[in-house]
Amino acid sequence: MDEKSNKLLLALVMLFLFAVIVLQYVCPGTECQLLRLQAFSSPMPDPYRSEDESSARFVPRYNFSRGDLLRKVDFDIKGDDLIVFLHIQKTGGTTFGRHLVRNIQLEQPCECRVGQKKCTCHRPGKRETWLFSRFSTGWSCGLHADWTELTSCVPAVVDGKRDARLRPSRWRIFQILDAARNFHYITILRDPVSRYLSEWRHVQRGATWKASLHVCDGRPPTSEELPSCYTGDDWSGCPLKEFMDCPYNLANNRQVRMLSDLTLVGCYNLSVMPEKQRNKVLLESAKSNLKHMAFFGLTEFQRKTQYLFEKTFNMNFISPFTQYNTTRASSVEINEEIQKRIEGLNFLDMELYSYAKDLFLQRYQFMRQKEHQEARQKRQEQRKFLKGRFLQTHFQSQGQSQNPSQNPSQNPNLNANQNVTQNLIQNLTQNSSQNSSHKENRESQKQSAGQEQSDGNTSNGTNDYIGSVEKWR
């Protein structure tokens, strides 16, 4: 019994080795690398699921077109394309900005020196930057410049015109320059309540953002249009109640204000239109600008943010993003009443974030499905190629055996391939024949009979190979 088991095991091992050898011959190089790896690897878990500890099942609320979901930028880093990062306070933009200058695989990586915040991000072979952000160009358009400021300022800065005050026809100028250069705007959003609490804690430590310009229609707001919430140098030690009580606090609905076109509502002049109409215009403008941006990410979905950026710009990060669920904002304990009040003060941001989260997750879902479809199609093409390659080799070898008088020198490469395949098949056939004869009667067979059996068993070896191919599938 043990002898039979050993012989059976030996035959299986030999058959497996034969299949591997033939597969290497029929599918050389890296053409079937994916097919080989999938035969030995188990399905890998999806690294992008439930990173925010929410339900993996997502039910969309908004209807977006395919054009809204498909984000694919043919970013020409060697040409005139420019990524412009709109950095909203306390959204994790500092972390993301560092990823852009230190963590992207590039032909010519950004040059970051120790002790310096800014890095040099030049295009390959040029002394021009491909990235407009805090860590590459600095605050060239003012501290935490918003959409209204950036769209006016960036074309001028790129042209070497440091004066951000443009003529009233700036939108026409921007459209012409934007079409010529392909400015690709990106940003990061965050849950409004967490962002608001994080900004309050930052202000408590002495942050003021006094250097912010808030330029709109060529001028900054007056002190009457934008009064200060505090007297003195800063607002350090500010209690949360005092922070919420200031009606001029720019922390309220900051994300909507920084993503909208403020010229549509008269900038910071609140007397231009009724408050309800102003809020509606700002929200719709922010939604539209966000939807048409090249890319936006969410602080609560770091890995999905990384995935969508890589798919959008065809640029890969070196190290994966890390999801931090513990922040300064999360350490603040608030009751339900304060929670509701913060949501009320940021009701526009709450609606914008709900819209952005739905669009973000739909884009992620769409891109993942598209990726799976492309991978499935690639596997099918590889299988067809593998079968076609084998059948072609098999039929050619059969044709040569039927025409032995053909001059081998007419096609040396083809004859060499056929000889390799025939030798492999004959070796397996002879091994099977020897094992079978040893088991039955141990009698030697005549050479002619052995040749006839070899011809007859060639198809059996072929069937074994096709069976092995099905196993590889």
Residues noted as catalytic: 144
Contact 435, 9 (CB under 8 A): no
Which among 256, 272, 255 is positioned nearest to 264, based on CA atoms?
272
Q: How far apart are CA 374 and CA 327, in angstroms?
A: 38
Residue showing tokens 């096709």: 466
Cα torsion angle, 270, 272, 276, 279, sign: negative
Beta strands of 219-270 (E only): which ranges?
none
Task: List the 183-189 sheet strands across, edge first.
Answer: 131-132, 82-86, 183-189, 295-298
Q: How far apart are CA 287 and CA 354, in angstroms?
A: 11
β-bridge mates for residue 295, sequence order: 186
Which among 146, 176, 155 is positioned nearest to 82, based on CA atoms?
155
Contact 35, 389 (CB under 8 A): no
Dig out the tokens for 96 from the structure: 């993301």
Contact 139, 93 (CB under 8 A): no
Q: Work out the angle between the directed axes of helices 447-472 and 347-402 (0-180°, nearest 10).
A: 170
Q: How far apart are CA 73 and CA 86, in angstroms?
A: 18
Cα Dmax for the chain: 111
Q: Which amino acid is at 136?
A: S
Q: How far apart are CA 214 and CA 90, in angstroms?
A: 18
Cα torsion angle, 261, 263, 264, 265, sign: positive
3-state secondary structure of 37: helix
Alpha helices (H) along 93-205: 93-102, 147-158, 170-181, 192-204
